[in-house]
A = this chain, B = another copy of it.
């Protein structure tokens, strides 16, 4: 299937007291009970007390379905991740993003629906979007073509991108300045005296990956040097290994490697070490993301910090504002920092 999500939704099934029961016991009208239950402040204190007692007594729990039906709100927000399950559960960046969204939603009573939609699930995702399951959408890790304007529009709810949307798709977003991130990495390497710098880029159908590459290339150009090698992975550990191997086998001389994700950097590191290449003596390595294991003693990877958690949190807040009908900044772009450790 390919949908995975956070939730708390759906509807109450059967049993249980209804608003009406509570109203009867408390000796007030249904509307009043409804107000109390939702915290609609305009109710006299004594009635509130009565209602609360009745609610407790009856073990009343609101019926979600009825609530949604009447309010035309689902009480949920969906986080759309156009990646395969295995990737999401494997890349720490997503974990931080998810926990960031969770945190950002915490101030509201919205539930998180995690929607993993690998390419094959296109139809399913579309159905989901049309199904009106959420009051708002958060999109992370978007590749070109994953979601079209039309499909998004069908959902008829506010959308916020975590990471700049591709050209042609206009939507509010939060993002890291990935171009600057690429520059940062390149500059650092140059300052360390490296001149034969290779880069393993991320998938070029993702704006973030493109930006990182461009920033890297620009910085090199500004310094009047050319990149020693450029290749493309998909942000995974395996692709990092693969591209490092290719780099090694190409016979290219290089004294530094910039990987567009920590996972790829880790994969490359493994291969380099396997060949007896010393890091950072022979080759300096810089990653991107700053996943937890990058700071691990035995790895200690120099990397560009990608505050995924923070971005996600901001994105969630933006979405909440949008849903509430508040005005928001259409774009929020954070400035990257470099965490210098032992690989450079």
A-side interface residues toward B, CB under 8 Å? 1-16, 59, 61, 63-69, 72-76, 78, 85-86, 89-90, 92, 94-95, 98-99, 102-103, 105-106, 111-116, 127-128, 130-135, 156-157, 270, 298
Contacts and interface: CB of A to CB of B under 8 A. Distances in A.
A13 B134 CA distance: 8
Given A7-B3, A7-B5, A112-B3, A13 B102 contact: no
Contacts of A16: 132
B85 A7 contact: no
Contact of A11 (B5, B14, B68, B270): B68
A53 B73 CA distance: 29
This chain's copy number in the assembly:
2
B5 A132 contact: no
A80 to B, nearest CB: 12
Given A6-B114, A95-B86, A114-B114, A156 B68 contact: no
A116 B112 CA distance: 12
A81 to B, nearest CB: 12
B114 A5 contact: yes
A171 B111 CA distance: 28
Given A11-B65, A12-B133, 12 more contacts: A1-B106, A2-B102, A5-B113, A8-B133, A9-B76, A12-B132, A13-B74, A61-B132, A63-B69, A85-B102, A89-B98, A114-B114
B132 A11 contact: yes
A138 B76 CA distance: 22
Given A95-B89, A132-B64, A10 B9 contact: yes
A284 B86 CA distance: 30
Q: Is the interface of A mostly helix, strand, loop or mixed?
A: loop
B9 A133 contact: yes
A63 B132 contact: yes
- The listed residue with most B CB atoms (<10 A of its CB), out of A2, A13, A72, is A13
A75 B5 contact: no
B72 A69 contact: no
A7 B4 CA distance: 6
A72 B13 contact: yes
Contacts of A12: 131-133
Contact of A4 (B98, B157, B298): B98
A144 to B, nearest CB: 25
**The 4 A-B residue pairs with the shortest CB-CB distance in the complex, in nearest-first order:** A12-B132, A10-B74, A11-B68, A65-B68
A321 B298 CA distance: 49
A22 to B, nearest CB: 15
